[in-house]
Amino acid sequence: MSAAVTLEFLLPLELLRSGDWADVAEVQGEPAWVGRLAELGIRAGSRVRMLRHGSPCLLQVGDARLSLRGEWAMQILVRPAAGPQPPEEPA
Give pTM, 2 decimals.
Answer: 0.80
- Taking only the tens place, the pLDDT of each residue in 36-58 is 999 999 999 999 999 999 889 99
- Is there a domain that residue 24 lies in? yes
Angle (CA) 34-12-69 rounded to 5° is 65
Angle at 45 between CA 44 and CA 47, to 5 degrees: 110
pLDDT in tens, 62-86: 999 999 988 888 999 999 988 776 5
CATH code of residue 69: 2.30.30.90
71: domain range? Answer: 16-81
Instruction: Using the predicted structure, report yes or no on whether residue 88 has a pLDDT greater than 50.
Output: yes
Q: Which pLDDT score, from 0 to 100, does residue 9 have?
A: 83
